[in-house]
Structure 1
Amino acid sequence: MRTWWPRSLAGQAIALQIAVIVVVVLVGSVLALLDARRDGDSAARQQVVSIATALADSPSTAQAIESGRATQILQPVTEAVRTNTEIAFITIMSPDGTRFTHTDPSQIGGHYLGTIEPALRGDTFSEVYTGTLGPSIRAIVPVRDSTGRVIGLVSAGITQQTLVQRWRDQWPTIASVGLAALGLSLIGVWAIRRRLLRQTHGLRPDELRVMYEHHDAILHSVSEGLVVLDRDGVVLVNDEARRLLGLTPGPVTQAELPEFLRAYAPGARDEVHVTDDRVLVVNRSRVADSAHSEVVTVRDRTELQGALGELSSLQILTDSLRAQAHEAANKLHTVITMVEMGRPDDAVRFATDELALSQRLVDRLSHDVGDPALVALLLGKTAQADERGIALTITEETHLPSDADDVPLSAQEMITVLGNLIDNAMDACDRADPWVEVTISLHAEDLRSAELLLRVADSGAGMDGDAFERAMQRGYSTKSGVEPEQHGLGLALVAQVVRRHGGTLTADVTYGSVVTVTVPERVE
C-alpha cells in the first residue's frame, strides 16, 4: 500500500468520497456549462425567429415594400427593434435577395448572404451562416401581400460571438455554485470522518476483519453464555447462551428470554437463578458509552450444585459421626466411672439401653428405606436435629422398599429433595416447640401406576401462597436476619426436580407447616 493512501477505514472511506465528490462537481460544472451553451443557442434561435416573424407579419412591412420606399420606411424601424432586442442584425430584402435594410447602411442594396430558398417557398427557416458580421444564428421569414404572394423576406440574426460572451458571463455563477457544493460536501465528509474514527477507533479494514473473525470465533467457542441487550431488545446471543437458556436458532426477541433477563439491571454479580432444568449464575455489566445496553454472562452451575449437594450430604454424615463419636466418648466415660464406682449392673443397663435405641432406629430405617444413601441422609439429619434440640421423627407411614424398580426419582434426586426440605423445616420450626416430621412412601394409586410421596412437616408458621410461589421460582429464605433479596435455593431446587418429573409441590398449614411432594411413576 502506498504511503499516501490512508491506512484507517475512516481515512480510506473519506478519501474515496472526496475523489467521487470532486469528480461529480467537476463533471457537473462542465455539463452545466455545456447545457447553458445549448440553452443559449436554443433561446437565440427562438428569439430571432420570433422577431423576424413579427416584422414579416406586420402589414406595414408589406406596404412599405409595395410602396417602393422600403429602405426609407423600414430602416429606422429595424434599427430600433435591433437596438431594443440586442440582436446583431435585421435585414429586410426583396425576393431576389437585394437588401432594403442592414445594420451597416453601406451594405444596403447589396445581395443577402445566406439561404433564402425555403423562405421563398413560404417556409420559416433558421440556420448558422457566416455573413458580413461573421458567423451567426439567423432566421428567414417570408413577407406576403394580401393575396399571399411572397413579396419580400425578413432575416434576423445573433452573432455567435455575442452568444459566446453570454455563455462566458454564466461561468462565474456556475463556478460559484460548484465551489459552494464542493465546500459543503467536504465539510460533511469531514464530519463523517470524525464519526467513523470514533466508531472504528482508527482501525484499518484488515484489522477490523481480523477483529470480527476473532470476535466471532470467541463467541462460538467460549464456555460461558453471553447475551447483549439494549433498549431495542436482544443484540447478540452466543451458542452457549442458546443452550443454557433453551433458545431456538435465529433471531431472539426479548419475550423469549427468561423472566430474570427481561428487565434492565446492570451491576448484578453472581446472581443464582433456577430454571426448569438448570441452576444458572448470572452477571450483568453496563456497556460503556451506552445508557441502556448491558452484557449478560451466564454460567451453568447445575453439576456444581449437584456436587455441592453430595458434599453437603457427606458433610452432614461426617458431622453426625463426629457428634456420635463425641457422644460415645461421653457415654463410655460414664460407663467406666460407674464400673469404678462398683455399679457394674447399672453400667451394663445404661450402655445397652442407649445402644438398643440407636440400633432400633438404624434397623427400622434400613428395613423401611432400602436406599443406603437415603438412610445415611436420614440418620445424619436425625443426629443434626438432635444436636440442635429439634425432635425429628420418621413416621410409621414411611416405606420405600429396596427392590422397588418404579421409584421415579434417583438416589441423588431424593437426597436433593429431602435434604433441602428437611433443612428448610429445621430452620423454620417453632423454637418454643421444635419438631420436624418426615414421611417417605411409594404407594399404588391404582393397578396401573404408582406414586412417590415425600412429606416434611414442622412446627413453624409456614408460608402463604405468594411466598411459596416466589420460593419455587427463585429461592426464598425464612431464616431470621436474611433480607428478601438474599433468597436461598433449597425450595427452588426441589421445584426444579419435581417439574422435571411431572410431579407436584404443595404447601399447607394443618397440624403444622406441611410441604408435600408427589411424583408419578416413571414411564419407560
Structure 2
Amino acid sequence: MRGWWRSASIATRVFAQTAAILVLAAAVAFALLAVDARQEREREAALASQELALAMAATPTVRQAVTEAFDRYPADRGAAIAAATGAMQHYVEDVRMATRLDFVTVMHPDGTRYTHPDLAEIGREFLGTTAPALAGSTFTEVFEGTLGPSVRAVTPVLDDGRVVGLVAAGVTIERVGSLVVVRLLAVGGLLVATLAVAALAAWLLARRLDRATGGHGPEQLARLFAAHEAALHAVDDGLVLVESGAVVLANDRARAMLGLGELATPIPPDAPLPAGVRAVLDGDGGQVLVGGRWLVVARHETARAGTTTLTIRDRTELQRMTGELDAVRTLASALRAQTHEFGNRMHTVATLIELDEPRRALEVATAGRDLGQRLADRVVGDDEEPVIAALLLGKAAQAHERGVEMHVETHLAPGTHGIDPVDFVTVLGNLVDNAIDAAAERAARATSGDRDAWVEVYLDEDAGAIVLQVSDSGAGLAPEQHKRAFAPGWSTKPAGAHGRGFGLSIVRETVERLGGSIEIGAGEAGETTAAAGAVVTVLLPRPGAAP
C-alpha cells in the first residue's frame, strides 16, 4: 500500500485524499445531524405531550369525571375507578389517536390509572414521577414505563385549588427514533448527492492536475524541479521569463548581464530599470548595449498569451575576438600588399640594372619614398608599439595597388598612447579599408577626366583625446544613411567572401566600448569639384587622461 501511494501521481493523491476527507466529513456531519435531530424530536415530543396534557386537564369532561372519582375514591375505590374509566376511556383514546401520541393516561393523585391504551393497565399504578405535578406544576421527563422508554409530560387536574387528578401524555422513544430515521434518510440522501457532486468535482480537478503535471508524482516533480534549477543556473546564456511586462524569472547569468543583482522577482513593468535593461525587456530583440557590454537578445513568444522568453548572450568577448581577427586580417592584407609592391619594384630595379639603366632604376626604387620612408622610420624607430605605423605602411601599399593615392598626416608621438593596439588597428584599419574601397570604386566608374582617387588619414590629439580622421574621394553617403551605416550587415558594396557590412559596425562597437565617439560627415567642396566622399571622425579618450 505504501509503495503504491509513493508511486501514485499528484492527481491520484489529490483525488484519494479529497474523497477520504469528503467521506469523513459526511460521516461526521451525518452523526451530528442524527444527534441534533433526535434531541430536536425529543423536544418536539415533550412540547406536544405537555400541550396535550394541559389541554386534557382543562376539558370539562375530564375535570368532571376526575372530580367525581376523587370524591368517591375514599368510600368505594373500585366503583370510582370504573365510573371514571367509563366516562373518559373512549374520549381520551380518540384524542390520543388524533394527536398520534403513544399514550394519554388520566389517574388519581395516588397514581391509580383511570385510562390507558392497554385496558389491562387500568387500575394499576402509574410508573413515573408525580411529585412535581402533585405540587401543582407541569413537567416533562424521559421515563421507562409499561410501553418502554418514553418522553412524557405530567400535569395536575385542579378543582377549587385541589389536585383531584393527574394527566400524563407521552411518546415512546422508539417512535421518536423512527421519526428521526425518516428525517435522517432525507438528510442522508442529500449528503450522498452532495458527496457525489464533490467527488465529481475532485475527479475533474484530479484530471486537470494530471494533465498539468504529466502524471508525475511529487517526488518526480521535486527531482525535475531540482534538475531544472540546476540547468537554469548552470547555462552560460541568460534566460528571462516575462509575463505581461513583468519579469517573473531570471537566472544568475541574466541577472549578471542585466545588472539586476538581488532584485526580487517578479519585477513589475513600471520598475525603475536602466534604459538598456528596459530595451532588452521591451524591445524586439537583436543587439543591445547594456552597461558597456553588447548583448544579443532573442525573443520567443510562448503558447501562453502575454508570456515571452528571452535568451540573452554576451557578444562583448565575441566582438573583441572579431576585432582582433579583423586586425590580424588587416595587417596580413597590408603586409601582403606591401610584399607584393616591394617584390614588383625590386624585380623592376633588378631588370633595369641589368639593362644598364641605373638612373631609371633609382627613380623606380625611390618612387613614393616620402610616405614610405616616414612610415618605415616609425616602424623601425618606435620602441613602444610599431603596429600603427606598420598598418599604415601596409595600407599605403594596398592603396597603391588599387590606384589610390594615400596621404597621412600625424601629429601624434609614436605608439598607441595607452590604447590596446588591437583596438587601434580595428578602428583605423576598417576606416582606411572602407575609404580605399570607396575611392577606388568611384574612380572605376568615373569618366576619364575625373579618375583621381585619394585617401587622407589625419591623426592628432585634442584635449586629452586621440583624433582619428579618415577622408576619401568616394561617392560618400546621403545624410539619411549616416545612422544606418553603423548597423550590422548594412553596406553600399556587394557581399564579399567574408560577408558584408560589418566593418563600421565593429568600429562603432569598439569605439563605444572605449568610451569614444564616431560620426560621419561629407567632404568639403573644392574650387572646381563638388563635395567629395565621406569624412569619418573618431575621438578616443586617452586612458588616464583627466576628463
- 2:40 partner amino acid: D
**Alpha-carbon distance in 2 for matches of 1:375, 1:154:** 134
Using the TM superposition, give the Cα deviation of residue 89 of structure 1 relative to its aligned residue in structure 2, in angstroms: 1.5
Using the TM superposition, give the Cα deviation of residue 435 of structure 1 relative to its aligned residue in structure 2, in angstroms: 5.2
**Alpha-carbon distance in 2 for matches of 1:98, 1:463:** 130
- 1:228 partner amino acid: L
3-state DSSP of counterpart to 2:155: strand
Q: Which residue of 2 aligns with 1:400?
A: 412
Q: Which residue of 2 aligns with 1:278?
A: 293
- 1:217 partner amino acid: A
**Alpha-carbon distance in 2 for matches of 1:228, 1:328:** 60
Q: Are 2:12 and 1:8 aligned?
A: no
Q: Which residue of 1 aligns with 2:529?
A: none
Q: Which residue of 2 aligns with 1:206?
A: 219
Q: Is the 8 A contact 1:272 1:280 kept in 2?
A: yes
Q: Are 2:124 and 1:131 aligned?
A: no
**Alpha-carbon distance in 2 for matches of 1:259, 1:430:** 43
Using the TM superposition, give the Cα deviation of residue 467 of structure 1 relative to its aligned residue in structure 2, in angstroms: 6.2
Which residue among 212, 229, 235 is the counterpart of 1:222? 235
Q: Which residue of 1 aligns with 2:52?
A: 51
Change (3 A) 1:122 1:375: farther
Change (3 A) 1:342 1:425: closer
Q: Which residue of 2 aligns with 1:432?
A: 442
- 1:155 partner amino acid: A
Q: Which runs of 5+ in 2 are unaligned?
A: 70-82, 444-452, 525-532
Q: Which residue of 1 aligns with 2:75?
A: none
Using the TM superposition, give the Cα deviation of residue 493 of structure 1 relative to its aligned residue in structure 2, in angstroms: 5.1
Using the TM superposition, give the Cα deviation of residue 5 of structure 1 relative to its aligned residue in structure 2, in angstroms: 3.7
Change (3 A) 1:305 1:422: same
**Alpha-carbon distance in 2 for matches of 1:79, 1:295:** 88
Q: Are 2:298 and 1:297 aligned?
A: no
Q: Which residue of 2 aligns with 1:447?
A: none
Using the TM superposition, give the Cα deviation of residue 158 of structure 1 relative to its aligned residue in structure 2, in angstroms: 0.5
3-state DSSP of counterpart to 1:258: helix
Q: Which residue of 1 aligns with 2:460?
A: 441
**Alpha-carbon distance in 2 for matches of 1:496, 1:284:** 22
**Alpha-carbon distance in 1 for matches of 2:267, 2:382:** 51
3-state DSSP of counterpart to 2:468: strand
Q: Which residue of 1 aligns with 2:527?
A: none
Which residue among 308, 324, 334 is the counterpart of 1:310? 324
Is 494-503 or 309-318 further displaced after alignment? Answer: 494-503
**Alpha-carbon distance in 2 for matches of 1:411, 1:138:** 114
Which residue among 158, 177, 182 is the counterpart of 1:164? 177
Q: Are 2:474 and 1:454 aligned?
A: no
TM-score (normalizing by structure 1)? 0.79
Q: Which residue of 1 aligns with 2:73?
A: none
Which residue among 344, 350, 360 is the counterpart of 1:346? 360
**Alpha-carbon distance in 1 for matches of 2:481, 2:330:** 31
- 1:8 partner amino acid: A
**Alpha-carbon distance in 2 for matches of 1:387, 1:510:** 24
Using the TM superposition, give the Cα deviation of residue 4 of structure 1 relative to its aligned residue in structure 2, in angstroms: 4.4
Residue by residue over 1:169-219, the C-alpha shift from the partner in whole angstroms, topping out at 9 and shown as x without a partner, is 345434433433443343333333333333333334333333222222222
Residue by residue over 1:114-156, the C-alpha shift from the partner in whole angstroms, topping out at 9 and shown as x without a partner, is 11112223333111112222211111233445x6654443322
**Alpha-carbon distance in 1 for matches of 2:371, 2:506:** 34
Q: Which residue of 2 aligns with 1:325?
A: 339
3-state DSSP of counterpart to 2:7: coil
Q: Is the 8 A contact 1:428 1:478 kept in 2?
A: no
Q: Are 2:209 and 1:196 aligned?
A: yes
**Alpha-carbon distance in 2 for matches of 1:508, 1:60:** 129
Change (3 A) 1:356 1:508: closer
Q: Which residue of 1 aligns with 2:72?
A: none
3-state DSSP of counterpart to 2:345: helix
Residue by residue over 1:249-303, the C-alpha shift from the partner in whole angstroms, topping out at 9 and shown as x without a partner, is 23253755835543597xx8xx55443422334445555x645545443333322
Q: Is the 8 A contact 1:264 1:292 kept in 2?
A: no
Change (3 A) 1:351 1:422: closer
Q: Which residue of 1 aligns with 2:349?
A: 335
Q: Is the 8 A contact 2:430 2:507 kept in 1?
A: yes
Using the TM superposition, give the Cα deviation of residue 424 of structure 1 relative to its aligned residue in structure 2, in angstroms: 5.5
Is 366-375 or 111-120 further displaced after alignment? Answer: 366-375
Residue by residue over 1:305-342, the C-alpha shift from the partner in whole angstroms, topping out at 9 and shown as x without a partner, is 21221121111111112122222333334334444554
Q: Which runs of 5+ in 1 are unaligned?
A: 445-449
Q: Which residue of 2 aligns with 1:95?
A: 109
Q: What is the aligned-residue identity percentage?
A: 38
Q: Which residue of 1 aligns with 2:528?
A: none
| Length, aligned pairs only | 504
Change (3 A) 1:330 1:509: closer
**Alpha-carbon distance in 2 for matches of 1:152, 1:228:** 91
Which residue among 281, 305, 327 is the counterpart of 1:262? 281
Change (3 A) 1:452 1:330: closer
Q: Is the 8 A contact 2:375 2:390 kept in 1?
A: no
Using the TM superposition, give the Cα deviation of residue 510 of structure 1 relative to its aligned residue in structure 2, in angstroms: 6.5
Q: Is the 8 A contact 1:316 1:384 kept in 2?
A: no
**Alpha-carbon distance in 1 for matches of 2:162, 2:334:** 139
Using the TM superposition, give the Cα deviation of residue 88 of structure 1 relative to its aligned residue in structure 2, in angstroms: 0.7
Change (3 A) 1:421 1:325: closer
3-state DSSP of counterpart to 2:367: helix
**Alpha-carbon distance in 1 for matches of 2:203, 2:341:** 85
Change (3 A) 1:332 1:376: closer
Which residue among 404, 408, 415 is the counterpart of 2:425? 415
Using the TM superposition, give the Cα deviation of residue 421 of structure 1 relative to its aligned residue in structure 2, in angstroms: 4.5
TM-score (normalizing by structure 2)? 0.76
Using the TM superposition, give the Cα deviation of residue 162 of structure 1 relative to its aligned residue in structure 2, in angstroms: 0.9
Q: Which residue of 1 aligns with 2:133?
A: 119
Q: Which residue of 2 aligns with 1:35?
A: 36
Q: Is the 8 A contact 2:156 2:166 kept in 1?
A: yes
Change (3 A) 1:344 1:454: closer
Please identify the structure whose Cα radius of gyration is greater.
2
Change (3 A) 1:188 1:222: same
Q: Is the 8 A contact 2:338 2:393 kept in 1?
A: no
User: Considering only aligned residues, what root-mean-square deviation do their CA atoms show, in Å?
Assistant: 4.1
Change (3 A) 1:346 1:490: closer
Residue by residue over 1:372-407, the C-alpha shift from the partner in whole angstroms, topping out at 9 and shown as x without a partner, is 23333434444445555555543x4x3222489xx5
3-state DSSP of counterpart to 1:202: coil
Is 147-156 or 306-315 further displaced after alignment? Answer: 147-156
**Alpha-carbon distance in 2 for matches of 1:378, 1:234:** 50
Q: Is the 8 A contact 1:90 1:101 kept in 2?
A: yes
Q: Is the 8 A contact 2:386 2:415 kept in 1?
A: no
Q: Which residue of 2 aligns with 1:142?
A: 156
Using the TM superposition, give the Cα deviation of residue 351 of structure 1 relative to its aligned residue in structure 2, in angstroms: 1.6
Residue by residue over 1:9-56, the C-alpha shift from the partner in whole angstroms, topping out at 9 and shown as x without a partner, is 333444333433333333333333333333322332233233334444
